[in-house]
Amino acid sequence: MGKTSTQEFHLPLAQITQSPIDCTLRYLEYRKQEHHGDCAHLGLEYSGVAPFEDIASRELAAPRREPTPVSSPWCVTLLSPAATLAQLQQLLRFFADRDWPVAAVDTLAQRRDCTVLRFQLAADLEFSAAKHACLQLARDIGADLVLQPGSSQQVPALAGFDMDSTLIDAEVIDELARISGIGDEVAAITEAAMRGELDFRQSFKKRMALLKGFSETRLAEIAAQLPLKSGADRLLGALRALGCKTAILSGGFTYFANYLQRERLPVDFVHANQLAFSDGALTGDVIEPIVDGLRKRELLQQMAGELGLGLEQVIAVGDGANDIPMLNLGALGIAIHPKPKVRLEAPQSIGSFGLDAALYLFGLNDQQIERLL
């Protein structure tokens, strides 16, 4: 094993695919300039032989403070926990094979455990087919690839969030069932609903009936122990700093959503299901209207109207099948750690990182994010 070197190479974008040597990718910066040459700035970390011979190089440069303004019709963002030159090469070949010209590349994150590259594409493509092709390549290279319209690379004005398994790392109804000793039975119903195999309203009523008699005192104890999803506080904090309104739109319960809003997260609005109590315990009954997938979409659209916002200023974030209607409403619909069905049907998805990775899809880099926080 030779000495480890970190170098920035200056070369045409197309030439990047020609090296047979793999190594760690640190960053890539590129601007297509018709009359001033075609030169990319590629930061690599390698041992032994350099990946590119007879190519001008220098020590790694400091990250750019501001990403290039988006002017292309489409963007693809690579989010990798361990970025490599081989990943980049496969992605550049993927673009070339489809005749998707790369107009610019910005590095939005270049940490050891997170490299984020945003590619602007001057391409004429059909979104659904292109998205599924990106999902397949993402599986092949072990990273996330997010396709979105270039116009959506902006900070939203309203963001709607699912709660269970999205803002918190738990399914509350499953927790209640586990404590009641019926965890497996209720979890199986929840999983079927989240996979889209069972109607949410039916599954909700079945699960609530099984929880009859659960103590209200225990609910308060559970609320205080609910773990936040990784990155939830950073994402909600950044959105608040940017002036974006946020809402919990949950098929879970107002009891827990209100606790999150009051004690844990900067949330502006809460819409969820109400619990019915009698003599300090759950009755097992359901209070209408149930917040199911269609209700979430209706509520998000209604809030946008009340705030005087167009849907191009609205995004949604969720993980389950009952989130799909609202994920397909606005400028972005981001599925976070989604079920397989949701990954295929949501416009965008992130599987390798926490919620705060959504900030890269708004066009922000690490330096801008840290200033916000």
pLDDT digits (tens, 9 = 90+) for 313-350: 999 999 998 999 999 999 999 999 998 889 999 999 99
Can you give the pLDDT at residue 114?
95
Question: What does pTM read for this prediction?
Answer: 0.93
Can you give the pLDDT at residue 278?
92
Can you give the pLDDT at residue 34?
64
What is the tally of helices (H) and strands (E) in the chain? Answer: 12, 16
Active site residues: 162, 164
Question: What is the spatial order of strands in the sheet that 4-11 belongs to?
Answer: 57-59, 4-11, 40-47, 24-31, 102-111, 114-121, 74-80, 144-149
| List of residues 6+ apart from 138 with CB closer than 8 A | 144, 145
Query: How far is the C-alpha of 326 from the C-alpha of 334, rounded, in Å?
Result: 10
| List of residues 6+ apart from 45 with CB closer than 8 A | 4, 5, 6, 23, 24, 26
In the chain the domains, ranked by start, together with CATH numbers, are 4-152 (3.30.70.260), 158-372 (3.40.50.1000)
Query: How far is the C-alpha of 112 from the C-alpha of 247, rounded, in Å?
Result: 33
Can you give the pLDDT at residue 2?
59
Can you give the pLDDT at residue 35?
57
Can you give the pLDDT at residue 102?
97
Residue pair 167/227 in contact (Cβ under 8 Å)? The answer is: no
Segments of the chain with pLDDT less than 70: 1-2, 34-37
